[in-house]
């Protein structure tokens, strides 16, 4: 009973994904709404649809820069929060939690109002500034959980063995935190790449991949957009599945020893 119900919910979650992938192979002429036949043309000429590859390039650039910055400052803050006690700690925690509890329209409109007041032209830079802001909190929460699960006495042992603070950090702390940092970075990349609401308020004339889809929705999405989305999906799912199966195999090997 429970299994059947769960299967139905999972199918419901996956139907639009299957639809998107199937329609990336549609031999569409003007609008990619009805099925007209199978073709590889959209996959072979992804950039044929006007503007789609430029929007995709912008999204990648924004996601990479935002992820690098958010991961760096977020990891530092996460270590401080998990390892040290200081005054105003609960206020700091609240400040980190609030952006995640704020609706995206409010974040988007607030930043746009600030850029307007400060007279800053909207473009790719303002989108990056906005994305780093909402990614930082997610990185902090993800990395903090990892820091909390790592035993500080391992670092202490490193110090006892006369490791310099830099040696201890780069050879002990960082490798131990790596899975958490990778998780935070991945989350941040995905959030930035798929963000539409905040981007729409702060991008001005610059397009991103989600903004391209939103604008094209009124007149019809070219199948090339489905190709890009499907390719990313397939790559991401393959990466996640491989890492999950590898982790399970490792656990099994350790258990059988």
Partner 1 sequence: MAITAFAPTIGAGAPSGDTRRGGRTALLLLLPGIAYLALFFLAPLVSLILTSLQTPRLYGDIGQYDYAFRIENYADVVGEYLPQILRSFGYALVATAIALVISYPLAYFIGVALRRYPLAQSLLLVLVIAPFFISFLLRTLAWKQLLSNDSLVVQGLQALSLLGPGEYFIGSPAAVIFGLVYNFVPFMVLPLYASLERLDIRYLEAGSDLYAGAFTTFRTVTLPLSMPGIVSGTLLTFIPAAGDYVNASRDFLGSPDTSMLGNAVEANFLVLQNFPAAAALSIILMAAILVLVAVYVRRSGTDELL
Applying CB under 8 A, which of residues 53, 104, 163, 182 lies at the interface with partner 1?
104
Spell 86-122 as b/e; 16+ CB within 10 A means b: eeeeeeeeeebeebeeeebeebbebbbeebeeeeeeb
**Closest CB to partner 1 among residues 136, 181:** 136
Q: CB of residue 158 vs partner 1: minimum separation in angstroms?
A: 11
According to the binding rule CB under 8 A, does residue 105 interact with partner 1? yes
DSSP H helical segments within 102-217, as ranges?
104-118, 124-149, 152-160, 165-168, 174-194, 197-202, 209-216
x-or-dash string of contact with partner 1, 108-147, rule CB under 8 A: -xxxxxx-xx-----------xx-xx--xx--xx------
C-beta separation of 134 from 198 below 8 A: yes
Site string for partner 1, 20-39 (x = CB under 8 A): x--x---------x------
Site string for partner 1, 39-78 (x = CB under 8 A): ---------------------------------xxx-xx-
Q: How far apart are CA 129 and CA 23, in angstroms?
A: 34
DSSP state letter for 29: S
Examine residue 194 and tell whether it contacts partner 1 (CB under 8 A).
Answer: yes
Least distance between partner 1 and beta carbon 45 (Å) = 19
**Is 24 in contact with 230 (CB distance < 8 Å)?**
yes
Q: Tell me the β-bridge partners of 26.
A: 38
Which pair of structure tokens corresponds to residue 79? 């270590």
Binding part of the chain for partner 1, among 43-51, 60-68, 174-182, 221-229 by CB under 8 A, reads 221-229
Q: Looking at 154, 157, 178, 245, which residue binds partner 1 (CB under 8 A)?
A: 245
């Amino acid at each position: 009973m429970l299994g059947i119900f769960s299967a139905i919910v999972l199918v419901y979650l996956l139907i639009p994904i299957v639809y998107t992938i199937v329609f990336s192979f549609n031999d569409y002429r003007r609008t990619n709404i009805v099925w007209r036949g199978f073709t590889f043309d959209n996959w072979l000429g992804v950039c044929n649809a006007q503007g789609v590859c430029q929007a995709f390039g912008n999204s990648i650039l924004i996601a990479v820069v935002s992820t690098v910055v958010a991961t760096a400052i977020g990891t530092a803050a996460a270590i401080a929060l998990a390892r040290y006690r200081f005054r105003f700690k609960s206020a700091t925690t609240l400040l980190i939690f609030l952006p995640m509890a704020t609706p995206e329209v409010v974040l988007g409109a607030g930043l746009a109002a600030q850029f307007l007041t400060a007279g800053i032209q909207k473009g790719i830079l303002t989108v990056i500034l906005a994305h780093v802001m909402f990614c930082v909190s997610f990185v902090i929460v993800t990395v903090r959980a990892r820091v909390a699960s790592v035993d500080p006495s391992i670092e202490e042992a490193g110090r006892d063995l006369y490791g310099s603070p830099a040696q201890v950090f780069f050879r002990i702390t960082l490798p131990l935190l790596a899975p958490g940092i990778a998780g935070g970075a991945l989350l941040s990349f995905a959030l930035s790449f798929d963000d539409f609401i905040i981007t729409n308020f702060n991008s001005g004339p610059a397009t991103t991949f989600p903004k391209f889809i939103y604008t094209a929705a009124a007149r019809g999405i070219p199948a090339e957009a489905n190709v890009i989305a499907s390719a990313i999906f397939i790559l991401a799912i393959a990466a996640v599945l491989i890492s999950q199966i590898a982790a399970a195999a490792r656990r099994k090997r350790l258990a059988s020893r």
